[in-house]
Amino acid sequence: MLKMRNFVKNQDGVSVSIFALLFMMLLCMVGVVIDGGMLYVTKTHLQKTANAAVLSGAQELNNNNNEVKSIVNYILTAHNELESLEKLEFPEDKKVTIYLTKEVMTPFYRLFGVEKVPVSVKASAALFGSTKSSIFDYLIFSEDPKKTFYVSGSKNKFNGKVHINGPSEISGSDNQFNDIYEYVGKLKNSGGNNKFPNGKEKSVYMDILDISKDEYKANATTVYNRKKTFSNSNTNVDGIIYVEGDVVFSGGHISGKGTVFATGNIILSGSNLKYKSDDDSVAFYSLKDIEIPGSDGEFHGLFYAPNGNIKLNGSKNTIKGSLIAKEFESISGSDLNLVYDGRYRETLSENLQIKLVK
């Protein structure tokens, strides 16, 4: 009987030891999952930020490297990762590469003497092709050869080259086209006192470039899976904002240097909607239509709707950049000041493309 009791006591001791061992193993597994998860989230964030920075910066590779550095630093600052910049280099002509490194605190690993683990990422973007005959050299580009480009508004100023693949009809009056007006279809100027001081030229058809929503979604810094309305007094756009659906801007100001990509329509509806400073620029990409019904606004950047319309219905708006679409349903607004600005020249074209590379 005594031997049996001693045996049971010994077994109790073994059970406690096994339980303690299993508990320690469980704690180790939980610790590894927590620290590993933190490292994964940090690396994913760093990689997306790096991708957005080089894709934005590469747009200036045709100009000078200082402009590229400025944009890269701006994007990194906007995502609180400027201190993570380890190196920015230009390994080849028309290519930019950045290296980001960030030390992550590890609550569990520190029990074994490892307080921080460095997480590093690399991203490169390159500019391909020639800059000749790009559709992004134009203030206005209308692609559909079967759709008429209508200007029914009056007293509008077009300060940049215009290219229309289809017919043109200028029915408004006192419009000024202060650079070359290229047209492929018929041109009907039925309005009064419309001026073409640099002439009208018969041209040839130019194609428009489609855009991949998958690529933009994969590199987006912010993703919305349904319609999004921005109604704040100031909406900051940095990196790539991807929206599955329509996007509406109705606030007072837009700031930042980034991209808004929508699978639906983009509507800039607020009156007096303006960019906060001349340094701010935003590219708007829509797989459907882009509409600016508000008035007294000011916008800097690219408006791109390769499958739909750009509708300029508001009046007294200033737009600096490029407006490119499959068609322009009608420019019915008046007193518009449209200015081509090469600083906002997007480099997505059949001849010139920006891509992430190894």
HSE-CB of 75 using CA atoms within 13 angstroms? 31
Q: What are the CA-CA distances from residue 154 to residues 84, 311, 336, 356 (Å)?
A: 51, 15, 9, 43
pLDDT in tens, 141-190: 999 999 999 999 999 999 999 999 999 999 999 999 999 999 998 999 99
pLDDT-derived band at 204 (thresholds 50, 70, 90) equals confident
Separation CA 138–CA 152 (nearest Å): 21
d(CA 287, CA 162): 22
Quote the tokens at residue 207: 């194609």
Please tell me the predicted confidence (pLDDT) of residue 183.
93
Q: Specify the pLDDT at position 107.
A: 67
**Band of the pLDDT at 340, cuts 50, 70, 90?**
very high
Instruction: For residues 44-60, give the mean pLDDT.
Output: 86
pLDDT of 2 reads 44
Instruction: Quote the Cα angle for 179-181-187, to 5°.
Output: 150
Please state, rounded to an integer, the average pLDDT across all residues of the chain.
83
Q: Which residue has tokens 């279809």? A: 185
CA 42 to chain centroid, in Å, comes to 22
What single letter denotes the amino acid at residue 214? D
DSSP-assigned beta bridge partners for residue 89: 97
What CA–CA distance (Å, rounded) separates 108 from 122?
A: 27
Q: How far apart are CA 271 and CA 64, in angstroms?
A: 36
Q: Which tokens hold the place of 211?
A: 């855009």
Which residue, chain included where needed, has tokens 């991949």? 212
One-letter amino acid identity for 245?
G
- pLDDT recorded at residue 19: 53
Q: Which two tokens stand for residue 173?
A: 């009056």
The answer to whether 166 touches 148, Cβ cutoff 8 Å, is: yes
pLDDT digits 0-9 by tens, 74-91: 889 988 999 999 999 988
User: What DSSP string runs through 158-200?
Assistant: EES-EEESS-EEE-SSS-EE-S-EEESS-EEE-SSS-B-TT-E
pLDDT per residue as tens digits for the range 263-293 = 999 999 877 888 777 777 888 999 999 999 9
Cβ proximity of 242 and 261 under 8 Å: yes
Beta-ladder partners of 319:
299, 338
Residues 6+ apart with CB under 8 A from 128: 94, 352, 353, 354, 355
Per DSSP, helices labelled H in the chain are 2-57, 65-78, 213-218
Identify the band that residue 347 occupies on the pLDDT scale cut at 50, 70 and 90.
very low
pLDDT at 110 over 70: no
> Which token pair is 275?
């960019």
| Per-residue confidence band for 320, with pLDDT thresholds at 50, 70 and 90 | very high
Pairing of strands 140-142, 116-129: unpaired
